[in-house]
A and B are shown apart, each in its own frame.
Chain A
Amino acid sequence: MEQLEPTLAAIAGADTIEAVEALRVAALGKQGWVSALLKSLGGMSPEERTSTGPRIHAARETVTAALGERRAALESAALEAKLAAETADLSLPATVLPRGSVHPVSQVMDELAEIFADMGFAVATGPEIEDDWHNFTALNMPETHPARAMHDTFYFPDKDAEGRAMLLRTHTSPVQIRSMLSQGAPLRVIAPGRVYRSDSDATHTPMFHQIEGLVIDKGIHLGHLKWTLETFLKAFFEREDIVLRLRPSYFPFTEPSVEVDVGYTLINGKRVVGGSGDAANGGWMEVLGSGMVNRKVIEFGGLDPNEWQGFAFGTGVDRLAMLKYGMDDLRAFFDGDVRWLAHYGFGALDVPTLSGGVGVRA
């Protein structure tokens, strides 16, 4: 029993797992002194066993616990030492996955589709290589109309089977005719897409994007047009202070025709949509062409203008994008510069929703 204290001291001083193991064998192994004491219990008298037995058992417990404790401490220290050797410099860069983007034109078209879906408008499409009947004649632009002049319209040398001249559509309005012919009335559609004019400078590119809106129903009037445009612009810019100025104008395919200006405020030299254009620091900016659909156009669409009437409007998607998101050069839209796309593009998850808002704030 006098070996207990030295053994415990030796365990506490053991500095390797091997040393602990040697002490375990010396105490608890077959030849160990604790084992020898335990064996000696057999040769004791009951009285002696009663008095000595618990002390021997307690010594065994104490030694076992001390060994376990020391072994755990040494193992833990060994693990810490191993981990310390594995230290990585976490200020080094992690692998970066490339970040993709959605083009502003696509994003704004999604926004427009979302807003107009809420007002009951479906999205319609039509060909970009059009014939002159759909692009001009059916929109009440007879052959001598100035808009047909070569300097505005891109023509192909081709004619279709009906002898119609093939051209690049100069506006999305032919989709009005195609929608009326294929879907009849009542009708609420928007038609976004590429359009083409033979024009090129800082604010004009020979290709750009338009969105057309068309409502054909009974009893539709100019007041409905005004409401629709106000509602759309308020939702698009997420501002309640949108002020519109309607001006009489002329488009062959509408009568009456209305040009729509939106009021802006100059803030730090930039036009910010909102407020009256007549206010100090304000101005008016033309954003939409619109009007009540010309009776002849309704007829060309295969509908009876005595029964159906409606309105149409058109605006530039690229310009709306520029106004909302602050780009100032239209040509950059079509250059594919990854730096521009990363800056002005949108994240894959920036899906416009009515509950989350159709715009993405910088």
Chain B
Amino acid sequence: MKFSLSWLKSVLDTKADARTIAEKLTSLGLEIEGVEDASAALKQFRVARVLTAEKHPQADKLQVLSVDLGDGTPLQVVCGAPNARAGLVGVLGVPGAVVPANGMTLKVAAVRGVESNGMMCSTRELGLGEEHDGIIELPADAPVGTSFADYLGSDPVFDVAITPNRPDCMGVHGIARDLAAAGLGVLKPIDVTSVAGTFPCPVEVRTDDPEGCPAFYGRVIQGVTNGPSPQWLQDRLKSAGQRPISALVDITNYVMLGYGRPAHAYDLAKLTGTVVARRARDGEACLALNGREYALEPWMTVIADDSGVHDIAGIMGGEHSGCSETTTDVLLEVAYFTPANIARTGQALALTSDARGRFERGVDPAFLDTGLDLLTGLILEICGGAPSEVIRAGQPPLARKSFAYDPALAGNLGGIDVANGEQKRILAALGFDVAEDLAKNWDVTVPTWRPDVDGAPDIVEEVIRVHGLDAVPSTPLPRADGVAKPTATAAQLQERRIRRAAAARGLNEAVTWSFLPTAEAEHFACGNGGLWTLANPISEDLKTMRPSLLPGLLSAARRNLDRGATSVRLFEIGRRYLRGEGGASDEQPSLAVVLAGEAAPRGWATGKAKPFDAFDAKAEALALLAEAGAPVENLQVMGEAGSQFHPGQSATLRLGPKTVLARFGLLHPTTAKAFDLTGPVAVVELFLGAIPARKGPGSFARPHFAPPALQAVTRDFAFLVPDALPAGDLLRAVRGADKANVVAARVFDDFRGTGVPEGQKSLAIEVTLQPADKSYDEAALKAITDKIVAAGAKLGGVLRG
């Protein structure tokens, strides 16, 4: 909402300057987005009289002027304007001045060999209008030598952001009311007289949709002349950022911007029969003023006559029935449209307008007659003509809300005690009626222009925003005794821990989009009822919610490699979006790792660069699962990592046969190709939700432990086993062979070839044995060895000699 200081002063009697007004507006909740003063740019332009004008010796279209600035030493100025002549009083830009239209700094320069000490300016050059046919001509008595800024007078323009709850401030008058309540002047009464009609309204006006249009007031003015509007009106509209069109259109815009009251003027000649507010009919459309045709739904309110729809009610007038230069008879429409209907219609048609902005927030239902009077008065004054009687169809919702209000609430909710007298003054200034009949609670009646006020807290807001929010004293929140208690949940602690563990392991945390191109999401879809795909995505690349964090990280890895990165180690912790029960989402916490490029760079000691492999992924998976609190010792390495993975170099980590805690491995070449990745890419995905939660809060004290007094011994066992046997199975069998003595076991060799039969492999395991209360003798060691050998034999393993 934009308006000039002079416009504001026409409705508010104030001596405050622009800066004070701007600060007060912001403190009232009418946030100033800017204050522009066009005259500020004109300080270095001065009123000047042309003394002589001679033809330029070198150029036919130029003249050499002698220009007087009132200081007795005329300046020589070269000028190309056809209207430059001796005696003309115009505007001279002196060297150093910046031309508002193009930002050029003027300087003394030779123009075709003749020195020019400035520039005589046109209206357009000074940013004051479009006129550029010649230089500005001021009245002959304009004070030569004065700054043009002073001559024009300063009229700053305020740009105010109006919150959606304040339809009353979508007019200058309402803004003035707030300023007056805050002590910045006196609100002037609206200067309007009711003009009686001289003949019955020649058109019938009706509302057949009392729900969407409870009231439709109108009148006809005959014999108008619709020329350009007067300068003062054009100036005000321009200050509001509106382009003047014609007097009738400008007047309706002026009443809307000045008083928040939208109205419409129809060219009576273009209407047929009764003008009626009604619901649109099936298949009806409206060609609106913006030149676009809108297909209407049967629940939308329209203004129509016998020939059809003219106007999308309260939102935009029709292309065919508006006023033009030839209009002589005009029908004024001043209606009340139900805010919710306007909002729905506007949203459905994706059509915004100044009128919609006001109607959907709720215009003052008690202002219809005043609005009509204002329009009538201005039209008669500017366009002439004779008014008909007013015709009033329907009834606007005039009932005023009232609420019980305890003035102590200013302190109890608003945090600042405001004296009762001051509260009453503020409310009265804003148009509220306060009755003090009740012992404690006041009865506060809301003015018709404040549909947003809906209870005591709103009244508190009115009081404290006018009293001043900055005056609210800071009050400490009550604090629990002692040191602050821990608040993080188990899931939060787990997330923090694995994040920092991953970073400590050399991985860089990324945050990638929750939405993906549909094809990428489908590549990682996991059944479960299907993907979540947006109805109105911002682009095809951000359309489907991710079922895995891997696609986002793979794309990020590709971007990094494209930019020349040699080694990319990314991880992300976030949600996978799955289908839940009852149509809700199931958002599962997960962590994903992508390792692409070089695991180790070529080095003077290490030789060639080494790519990432599946064991790099396994190392991350196990380390991060351990940090996440998973019982990694009990996990089984199983298959079925998924079709996105290399079938021979990927696995799942499971707790029991069904609970998958993680999958890892090399990416399937087809998947890598789908993401434009070349070379091996190792990935990990942890399903954090599957990790069993710790039971109970746990204790700080750990189980008792004292380091064993006796030294552990190690023994190596080499088994010949079928080469399809997973080493992990043999290892688990060995570990479980004698739990009292075997404390650790580790595979240190996997050998196939010379000495090992075809179809078999040799697995070498180092076993650590811990004696308890006495050292092992030969017999004890043999017993343990026998158990280990027997455990291996169960899996088809034969101890190598």
Interface centre among A222, A245, A295 (most CB of B within 10 A): A222
Within 8 Å CB of B455, what residues of A? Answer: 255, 295
B484 touches A154 (CB 8 A): no
B508 touches A100 (CB 8 A): yes
The answer to the question of B386 belonging to the interface, with a C-beta cut-off of 8 Å to chain A, is: no
User: For residues 498 through 521 of chain B, which have their beta carbon under 8 Å from a beta carbon of chain A?
Assistant: 499-515
Closest-by-CB residue of A relative to B463 is: A256
B31 touches A198 (CB 8 A): no
CB distance from B134 to the nearest CB of A (A): 42
The answer to the question of A64 belonging to the interface, with a C-beta cut-off of 8 Å to chain B, is: no
Given contacts A150-B347, A249-B163, contact A224 B477 (CB under 8 A): yes
Contact mask for chain A residues 80-111; partner B; CB cutoff 8 A; 1 contact, 0 none: 00000000000011010111111101100010
Given contacts A101-B503, A221-B412, A256-B457, contact A158 B583 (CB under 8 A): yes
A245 touches B470 (CB 8 A): yes
A226 touches B475 (CB 8 A): yes
The answer to the question of A21 belonging to the interface, with a C-beta cut-off of 8 Å to chain B, is: no
Within 8 Å CB of B787, what residues of A? Answer: none
The answer to the question of B105 belonging to the interface, with a C-beta cut-off of 8 Å to chain A, is: no
Question: Interface residues of B toward A: which range?
Answer: 35 or more
B457 touches A336 (CB 8 A): no
Q: How far is the CA of A129 from the CA of B547 in the complex (A)?
A: 13
Contact mask for chain A residues 248-274; partner B; CB cutoff 8 A; 1 contact, 0 none: 111000011111000000000000000
Within 8 Å CB of A102, what residues of B? Answer: 499-500, 503, 509
Given contacts A106-B509, A345-B508, contact A127 B587 (CB under 8 A): yes
Within 8 Å CB of A166, what residues of B? Answer: 532, 583, 585
CB distance from A188 to the nearest CB of B (A): 8
Stretch from A6-14, A40-48, A115-123 contacting the other chain? A115-123
Given contacts A200-B538, A228-B477, A292-B457, contact A338 B164 (CB under 8 A): no
The answer to the question of A28 belonging to the interface, with a C-beta cut-off of 8 Å to chain B, is: no
Stretch from A53-61, A69-77, A141-149 contacting the other chain? A141-149
Given contacts A247-B27, A338-B568, contact A117 B486 (CB under 8 A): yes
A92 touches B472 (CB 8 A): no
B532 touches A349 (CB 8 A): no
The answer to the question of A207 belonging to the interface, with a C-beta cut-off of 8 Å to chain B, is: yes
CB distance from B469 to the nearest CB of A (A): 4
Q: How far is the CA of A102 from the CA of B503 in the complex (A)?
A: 6
B479 touches A156 (CB 8 A): no
Instruction: Give the size of the chain A interface in residues (CB under 8 angstroms).
Output: 96
CB distance from B17 to the nearest CB of A (A): 16
The answer to the question of B436 belonging to the interface, with a C-beta cut-off of 8 Å to chain A, is: no
Within 8 Å CB of B565, what residues of A? Answer: 338-339
The answer to the question of B26 belonging to the interface, with a C-beta cut-off of 8 Å to chain A, is: yes
The answer to the question of A348 belonging to the interface, with a C-beta cut-off of 8 Å to chain B, is: yes
Stretch from B47-55, B413-421, B713-721 contacting the other chain? B413-421
A295 touches B457 (CB 8 A): yes
Within 8 Å CB of B452, what residues of A? Answer: 250
13 additional A-B pairs beyond A105-B511, A129-B584, A333-B511, beta carbons within 8 Å, are A92-B604, A93-B603, A93-B604, A103-B510, A122-B488, A155-B536, A156-B535, A158-B532, A227-B474, A250-B164, A255-B461, A295-B455, A338-B560
22 A-B pairs, CB-CB below 8 angstroms? A97-B506, A100-B502, A100-B503, A100-B508, A117-B486, A128-B577, A154-B536, A155-B536, A196-B514, A206-B538, A217-B478, A220-B477, A221-B415, A224-B475, A226-B474, A231-B476, A250-B29, A256-B460, A335-B559, A338-B560, A348-B503, A349-B500
Residues of B at the A interface (CB closer than 8 Å) are: 26-29, 31, 163-166, 339-340, 343-344, 347, 350, 360, 411-416, 452, 455, 457-458, 460-461, 464-465, 469-470, 472-480, 484-489, 492, 496, 499-515, 532-538, 542, 545, 552-553, 556-557, 559-560, 563, 565, 567-570, 573-575, 577, 582-585, 587, 603-606
| 3 closest cross-chain pairs (CB), A and B | A336-B556, A248-B29, A223-B415
Residues of A at the B interface (CB closer than 8 Å) are: 92-93, 95, 97-103, 105-106, 110, 113, 117-123, 127-129, 131, 142-146, 148-151, 154-162, 166, 168, 194, 196, 198-200, 206-207, 215, 217, 219-228, 230-231, 245-250, 255-259, 292, 294-295, 309, 333-339, 341-342, 345-349, 351
